Amino acid sequence: MALLKSPTEFDGFISFCAPLQSLNGRVLQRVAMVRRGLEQFWNFLEFGDRVVDKMKALAGRDEPLAVPPTHAVLGTPMLGPWPAGYKVAVFANGCFWGSEKGIWRLPGGGIYTTAVGYCGGFTKNPRYDEVCSGRTGHTEGVQVVYDPKKISFVDILRWFWEAHDPTQGMGQGHDRGTQYRSGFYWFDDEQKELVERSARAYQEELTRAGINRKITTEMKPASDFDQLFYYAEEYHQQYLAKPGSRPYCSAQPLLIPLPLFDQWAPPALWHHAPKLTKSFWDEHAPTPHCVVRAENEPIVWAPSQVQRAPPPLNPLAPLTPLTP
């Protein structure tokens, strides 16, 4: 191993091990894990904690990667156009295999479809090996298409914050490099305000819990990029639901809940009130390796109490808090 100078020199070793697959089906997976670790190491030596400069990023290609027509679990389309009134959210919180599964499992039929891909960088239609090289500027991300009548953007936000450690800088758990940085990217002003206000609220909650590290999540508008999200290879889509997949998730949940919505959201945003109530989070809040152990199908859950919308504002009366 000491003689290997770059990830490409490792490809010959992978080919050498290929015949062993008939003896042990996990051999190539193990080899791929070693190669991934070496790529992260070389990436760190060259770039450290810096995202590659746009002028030095790989150019990429015009041809997008092939995407399966339907979601392997939800059975819905993987490509738009999306139904009228549906919204899109894009975020990154570690290895995208587990990030995607956690979101597609949210209950109530509000998650229309999900996809993994590369976001927040510069290279057009990058490949996985290019993203791992650190030369694209992208991070592994998830695109979520959701019905706001059935699930709130705030529900997705809460899962995002609680499903990883947003203070880990350029990496998550054992996965290190700019391609594993935490990020959330908004498409309109209300998403922007909800992302930023929830980040401040979560930072305060972490501090109260004795975690004296700053949130390092990248928070930017989608308009900052020529194209925010590029679909990843077909084999990455809904990876953890596929037979023979490696049960891996690098996320490091801190087991600290986001404060209640009405504690950090102004009245002007109360129409985004969460639809997943306290009973859901008491039973299904993210824990380490929870998505690896979980079933592939969406969570079956019925609210024990209805989350009511805030009443109309009366300037002469005190604000009525939301039901948690």
Who's near 33: CB < 8 A, 6+ residues apart? none
* Tokens encoding 170: 């350029």
Alpha-carbon gap, residue 109 to 302, rounded angstroms: 12
Who's near 173: CB < 8 A, 6+ residues apart? 94, 165, 250, 251, 252
The angle formed by the CA atoms of residues 128, 171 and 161, to the nearest 5 degrees, is 105
Nearest alpha carbon to residue 98 among 295, 239, 262: 239
- In the set 95, 119, 249, 290, the catalytic residue is 95
| 95 assigned to active site | yes
DSSP secondary structure code for residue 44 in this structure: H
For residue 316, with 0-12 CB atoms within 10 Å meaning exposed, 13-18 middle and 19 or more buried, which class applies? exposed
Give the H or E element holding residue 157.
helix 153-162
Who's near 259: CB < 8 A, 6+ residues apart? 201, 202, 204, 205
What does the CA dihedral 106, 175, 89, 154 come to, rounded to 10 degrees? 60
Longest dimension (CA), the chain: 77
* Tokens encoding 46: 């060259």
Cβ atoms of 248 and 97 closer than 8 Å: yes
C-alpha count within 13 angstroms, C-beta hemisphere, residue 58: 19
Q: Which residue numbers are catalytic?
A: 95
